[in-house]
Structure 1
Amino acid sequence: MTRFLYDQFSKSYLEELLQPLGTVQVAREIAGEVREVDVWFSPKESVDAAEVSRLGLLGRIAATPAILEPFRNATTPTEICSCLLKLLEIRGEYERDAKRNQQKLTESSLPMLWILSPTASQSVLEGFAVSGDETNWGSGIYFLPRYLRTGIVAIHQLPKTRETLWLRILGKGRVQDAAIECDSFSLNREIGGRLALQSNQ
């Protein structure tokens, strides 16, 4: 799948999966210099627990406002910095809105940036001083220092479980193929069979 096709697929895919949980904006523009996030997600006030559970790890990610940046190829330090810049610009929007409305802004109300990378090298992870939290999140999920509100999902490191299935479909090569084969009947039933077709383009 070419980068352009993957970009279209990943945005549509995440939009389709996350719509039952909240508001999804694909290619949301950011004020200031022309930039846009791939997927902006804002959860509903009350969400069907079964729907969250069905999405597994993706459902947990969608528990709070989120910026999702899926990449077809392993993310580079420059790409991660670009994502962080988008996050900080959106944080600025939140701060301006809070000031204008004379409201207090809490860290927990700010969006979380999730960088979805098919692979992540040790040197890139170390360069951003990430830490894992396998007890709460399992393997393959790394967090930048707390106030940066950023997680990197190294898709190739995710355990091969139903919990991670929806994210592993955004992987590459064997990881993606294995995820699709893992539960092709369920995938075809739940999202209309489009995933298998698009992943082979």
Structure 2
Amino acid sequence: MSRSPFSLFSQQYFAALLNSFGTVYLNEPVPRNPKLRIYKHPARSDFGTAVLGALTEGSPQVWVNPEIIAEAEVVDVLFEPDPTASKAVLGILGDLLIQPCIIESLRSLPTSWEFRACLGHWLRWQVESDGSIIPVDEAAPIDNEDACEENDEAEELECDRRLLVIVPQMTAQQLEGWGARLSGCQIAGLYELPPIYATTIVCTRELPETAETLWLRLLSRGSTQRKAIQDLIKLEPNHPLRSVTLHSLQSWYQRLSEDTQNRESKLLMQLLSQIEL
């Protein structure tokens, strides 16, 4: 499936930006363990094959219920942080990436379907990590008191995987519908779903225009994103993240040049064309 220039940019952006702070996986299948992915097996009876074969005068091309491997669902970016690496230079983004995290960047106001898809990726990953999915070729564990106690201890020690959804904005009705509340850090634009979902929503257009929010505002759109790009260009040349980020923006500029332009894209391209490394 083809990806939009923005999706490709956000992948390259995070791969370059977070490389020194952990491991970045792009287009990562979920579940990650191949044994836990769903397969569609053929029926034991070949009745359908026989019937269709008769209707098509025994054509050897007819084959009903072949084994089909389901297309793996993939997430654009999955990040596993290095606990020994300081993420202070990432500002608020660094604060949001202290645990293994799926990062979903959406270019526009998300539809309910798009947001459910993001949450669905995280749920599959979390269920896999909980050990709640049993491979088809393995027996289920014996349910006894000792096993229950071990599971309880594992849950207490487990480091929750998180979901980070970065969007330009969401409506008040959408946030209320998903049960999102302003983050406890009291920063405009950061919302949390109920704790069971371990999900943070970043509405980039609401973020304060500070150095701490720069790396998130670069994923916004319109005037918010253009202001962030200007802030990036003004950073000191020796800033550890300036060069790699500008390279990502230059690559995005080249992809935008190949697409049909609207007014917003033209303004963005005018700004990106000024980048000098």
Verify same fold: TM over 0.5.
Answer: yes
CA distance in 1, matches of 2:26, 2:164: 15
1:75 aligned to 2:75? Answer: no
Percent identity of paired positions between Structure 1 and Structure 2: 28
AA aligned to 1:23 is T
1:130 aligned to 2:180? Answer: yes
CA distance in 1, matches of 2:80, 2:186: 21
Structure 2 counterpart of 1:194: 247
Give the one of 155, 167, 178 matched to 1:105. Answer: 155
Structure 2 counterpart of 1:26: 26
Structure 2 counterpart of 1:16: 16
1:75 and 1:117 in contact (8 A); partners too: yes
- Report the number of matched residues: 195
Structure 1 counterpart of 2:122: 87
Q: Comparing 74-83 with 146-155, which one deviates more in the overlay?
A: 74-83
Residue 13 of structure 1: how far off its partner (Å): 0.4
Structure 2 counterpart of 1:143: 192
Q: Comparing 27-36 with 85-94, which one deviates more in the overlay?
A: 27-36
Structure 1 counterpart of 2:84: 46
Residue 183 of structure 1: how far off its partner (Å): 3.1
AA aligned to 2:208 is P
**Partner SS, residue 41 of structure 1:** strand
Give the alignment's TM-score, normalised by structure 1.
Answer: 0.87
Give the one of 64, 70, 73 matched to 2:99. Answer: 64
Q: Comparing 146-155 with 107-116, which one deviates more in the overlay?
A: 107-116
AA aligned to 1:168 is R
Q: Comparing 76-85 with 165-174, which one deviates more in the overlay?
A: 76-85
Residue 197 of structure 1: how far off its partner (Å): 2.5
| Structure 2 gap ranges (5+) | 32-36, 39-71, 135-140, 142-149, 257-277
Spell out, residue by residue over 1:122-151, the C-alpha distance to the aligned partner (whole angstroms, 9 max, x if none).
111111011002x51511011111101111
Structure 2 counterpart of 1:182: 231
Runs of 4+ in 1 over 4 A off after TM superposition: 97-100
AA aligned to 2:120 is L
| Structure 1 gap ranges (5+) | none
More helix, by proportion = 1
**Partner SS, residue 138 of structure 1:** coil
CA distance in 2, matches of 1:149, 1:61: 11
**Partner SS, residue 136 of structure 1:** coil
CA distance in 2, matches of 1:23, 1:36: 17
User: For residues 110 and 185 of structure 1, do their structure 2 counterparts lie closer, same or farther at Cα, with a shift above 3 Å needed?
Assistant: same
Spell out, residue by residue over 1:33-72, the C-alpha distance to the aligned partner (whole angstroms, 9 max, x if none).
521111111111311x3xx111101111111111100011
AA aligned to 1:197 is Q
Bigger-Rg structure (1/2):
2
Residue 11 of structure 1: how far off its partner (Å): 0.8
User: For residues 46 and 38 of structure 1, do their structure 2 counterparts lie closer, same or farther at Cα, with a shift above 3 Å needed?
Assistant: same
